[in-house]
Amino acid sequence: MAQPVGIKDVARAAGVSVGTVSNVINRPDSVATETRARVLSAIDRLGYVRSESARQLRAGRSRIMGLLVLDMGNPFFVDVARGAERAARDAGLGVMVCNSAQSAGEEADYLSLFAEQRVRGVLLTPADATGRNIASFRRHGIPFVLVDRVAEGTTECSVSVDDVAGGALAVRHLIDAGHRSIAYVSGPPGFNQVRDRRTGALNALAEAGLSPSALRELPTERLDVAAGRDAGARLLGLAERPTAVFCANDLLALGVLQAMYAAGVGVPDDLAIVGYDDIEFAAAAAVPLTSVRQPAVTMGALAAELLLEETEAETETGPRRHEHRRVVLQPELVVRRSSLSAR
C-alpha cells in the first residue's frame, strides 16, 4: 500500500520549508504569489490531503458536529438531518449522523464515540428515558442540543414541537368527525413524545365532555411499521373495536393501515386513522393519511444553529454571550382521506 503524502513531501517537492507549506494551506495571503503557486502545484501533483485529525489537535476544535437520532428508517429523522446538515454546511462544518435504533445501549456507545472524536457538539434525540446517558455525556464538557425533546430538568438548549397540542389536534379532529371511541397506538411509554401526545388526546376528550375511557391505549415496543401492523392485529381482535385510531407517528399509522387493508376493513368508513409527523409517505399511502405535521427540517436547522451559537460563544474571552433556550414549535393538522368518513 502506498504511503500517504505528507506535508514534508510537499515542502521537498516545492523546495520550501514545512512552515511555508503550512502558511499556504492556512494563511495563503502571507505567502508570496510565486511561492504560493509553486506549493499549490506540488500539492496538486502529489495529491496531498491535509490530516484533519492533526489539524484538530493543533486547533483544539473539530469541524464535525454529531447527530444522534432514534431511527434513521423514519423519514422524519431524515428530514431533521437534512435541516441540521444544511445549517452545518453553511458554517463550514460536516455532520456525523448516527442511529441509536431506539436503544439506550447503542445511544451510549455513540455518545462515547462522539466524546472520543471530540466533536464540536452534538444534536441528540434521546433514547434513554432514565437520562443516565445524558448525565454521563455531560461530564465530557461537549455542548449538546436536544432535538424533538424538551430539555426538562436540564440547562441545555432544546428544539421541539408542542406534542400536547399535537395530540389534541388529532383527537379533536376525530371527535368533530363523530367518533366517541378512539384507540391510541402509542409506542414505548418511556418516550416523552408518546406521553405528551397521549396527554393532548385526553385533553381533547375532556374538552368534549368525554371520559378518559373513550381512549383505548395500545402500546408498542417500537415506533415502526411492523409495530403498527402488530397493533392493528390486536385492534382487530378487540370485542368492541374503536371507530378511530390515533397513532404516535406515521410509521405506526401506516402499519395499522396495512393490517386493516389485509383484513378487508375499510379506511376510513370502518376505521378512521390519524398519524403524526406528516412524513412524505403519508400523502402517498394507498389511503392518503391524515397526520399532525412537525416542521422537521426547521427543527434540525434551528438545533444546529443553537449548537453553533453555543460553540462560538465558548471560544470568546470574557462573559459568555450564549443563553440556553428552549424552542417549542407548533404542529399543524393535515387532513386527508384516512379520517374523512361519511359517518
Looking at per-residue pLDDT, the higher value among 298 and 29 belongs to 298
Instruction: Say if residue 280's pLDDT is above 80.
Output: yes
The percentage of residues in the chain with a pLDDT greater than 70, rounded to a whole number, is 90
Q: What is the pLDDT of residue 118?
A: 86
CB 337 within 8 A of CB 343: no
Q: What is the pLDDT of residue 57?
A: 44
Q: Tens digits of per-residue pLDDT, 79-132?
A: 999 999 999 999 999 999 999 999 999 999 999 999 988 899 999 999 988 889
Distance CA 81, CA 100 (A): 14
Q: What is the pLDDT of residue 75?
A: 94
First to last CA, the chain: 72
User: Which of 97, 105, 108 has its CA nearest to residue 73?
Assistant: 97
Instruction: Say if residue 242's pLDDT is above 50.
Output: yes
Query: Structure pTM?
Result: 0.80
Distance CA 95, CA 80 (A): 12
* Amino acid at position 27, single letter: R
**Crossing angle of helices 75-90 and 296-314, rounded to 10°:** 40
CB 156 within 8 A of CB 310: no
User: Rounded mean pLDDT of the chain?
Assistant: 90
Distance CA 195, CA 176 (A): 23
Q: Which three cell numbers stand for residue 324?
A: 440556553
Q: Tens digits of per-residue pLDDT, 180-235?
A: 999 999 988 888 899 999 999 999 999 999 999 999 999 999 999 999 999 999 99
Q: How do beta strands 290-293 and 332-334 pair?
A: antiparallel
Mean pLDDT of 63-75: 93
Among the residue ranges 57-61, 157-161, 214-218, 248-252, the one predicted with the least confidence is 57-61
Looking at per-residue pLDDT, the higher value among 92 and 318 belongs to 92
Q: Tens digits of per-residue pLDDT, 5-27?
A: 788 888 999 999 988 988 888 78
CB 41 within 8 A of CB 14: yes
Instruction: Say if residue 58's pLDDT is above 60.
Output: no
Instruction: Say if residue 59's pLDDT is above 80.
Output: no
**Crossing angle of helices 18-26 and 7-14, rounded to 10°:** 110
Q: Tens digits of per-residue pLDDT, 131-170?
A: 899 999 998 889 999 999 876 666 789 999 999 999 999 9
User: Which of 48, 52, 24, 25 has its CA nearest to residue 120?
Assistant: 52
Q: What is the pLDDT of residue 330?
A: 97
Distance CA 210, CA 203 (A): 10
Mean pLDDT of 283-302: 96
Q: What is the pLDDT of residue 341?
A: 66
CA distances 114 to 139, 142, 158, 309, 322, Å, are 13, 9, 19, 19, 22
Instruction: Say if residue 61's pLDDT is above 70.
Output: no
Q: What is the pLDDT of residue 302?
A: 97
Mean pLDDT of 72-84: 95
Q: What is the pLDDT of residue 230?
A: 97
Instruction: Say if residue 52's pLDDT is above 90.
Output: no
